[in-house]
Amino acid sequence: MKRLLSSTLSVLLCVVAALALMARSRTPGSRLPFNTEHELRKHRPRQTPVILYHGGPVMISGKSLYVIYYGSFTVTQHSILDTFLQNLGGSGAFNVNSEYYDAQNMFIQNVLNYSPNTDSYDDNYSLGTKLSGSFASTLVGNAISGGHLPADANGIYILSISPDVSIPKSTWCAYHTHSTSIVSGTDIKYAVAPDPPSSLYSGCSGNVANYGDTTSPNGDIGMDAVADDLIHEISETVTDPDLSAWYTKNGAENADLCNFVYGATFLAPNGSHANHTFGTRNYLWDRIGSFCALSH
């Protein structure tokens, strides 16, 4: 049983777009760190990228979210992420994704289901504090095979990892992918969004990288970065779950095109930058036109 904070959470979120900024070559499914993104934009041709449909499936109907907290997370840290995920479905922010469709011209529904009491699992270092190899698929598979979470082809499994756990060196802040080997005969979609250690704040925290903030809206730079990562990865998962649906000719998915672009911001009570207070305002940026917009 997890206790939720009663106050609304100001979350600084990177936003989604499909027709904005410039296309770039990238590994499909990954969110690049700030410095890498900045360098790509400097060398990008001055043209509007086009998100193309490549015929693959999208996630149409009501989708369930499942969270695996690997390592050690406080009650407050659970609350930051749980409250974010509980409010995402049905929001104007997530409605941006309802403009994407499949081969039958069926559009994505603005529905996400998440209940922390039944849809999250705390994994207390089952693989230790040094992860290697295909750790993500192993941890998702163990949560399902152990009966902690259901096997759901229409679900999105989220793996967050506490900063005291080391993971293989990477060039991403977060990523999404899918697998048919985790559960035989079932296409399992999952996203990996670690709570970054302080050494990675300058690459994976919009507050630190964009604005030089020394804190974040909820007073936890790492978990606010996780929420930022997940608006990115969940949007890409529903529009490109098998990496065969919506992306540019260079592999950029809808959220990649506004990576670390936040638009108008306001100051949270602690002085950090924010662009949304969940439960009252929209925060996600739209793909319509050659610009990034907050909601649809």
* pLDDT > 90: percent of the chain: 61
For 169, other C-beta atoms within 10 Å of its C-beta total 5
More confident residue, 25 or 216: 216
Of 25-39, 53-67, 107-121, 196-210, where does mean pLDDT reach its minimum?
Answer: 25-39
56-77 as b/e: b if 16+ CB within 10 A: bebbbeebbbbbbbbbebeeeb
Q: What integer pLDDT is reported at residue 238 of this predicted model?
A: 97
pLDDT tier at 32 (50, 70, 90 boundaries)?
confident
Question: Residue 160 and residue 191: Cα distance in Å, rounded?
Answer: 9
Q: What integer pLDDT is reported at residue 45 of this predicted model?
A: 60
pTM above 0.75, yes or no: yes
- Specify whether the CB–CB gap between 191 and 158 falls below 8 A: yes
pLDDT tier at 249 (50, 70, 90 boundaries)?
confident
Q: What integer pLDDT is reported at residue 13 of this predicted model?
A: 54
Tens of pLDDT, residues 68-114: 999 999 999 999 999 899 999 998 778 889 999 999 999 999 999 99
Question: Counting Cβ atoms within 10 Å, is residue 156 exposed (0-12), middle (13-18) or buried (19+)?
Answer: buried
Tens of pLDDT, residues 263-289: 788 898 899 998 887 753 323 333 332
- Specify whether the CB–CB gap between 211 and 155 falls below 8 A: no
Beta-strand relationship, 266-267 and 246-247: unpaired
Closest CA to 176 of 36, 65, 276: 65
Which one of 6-10, 17-21, 62-66 scores highest in mean pLDDT?
Answer: 62-66
Question: Residue 193 and residue 230: Cα distance in Å, rounded?
Answer: 7
Q: What integer pLDDT is reported at residue 284 of this predicted model?
A: 32
Residue with tokens 């994407």: 100
Question: Residue 234 and residue 251: Cα distance in Å, rounded?
Answer: 17
Question: Residue 87 and residue 113: Cα distance in Å, rounded?
Answer: 9
- Specify whether the CB–CB gap between 274 and 265 falls below 8 A: yes
Average pLDDT, integer, range 226-254: 92
Domain locations in the chain as residue ranges = 30-274
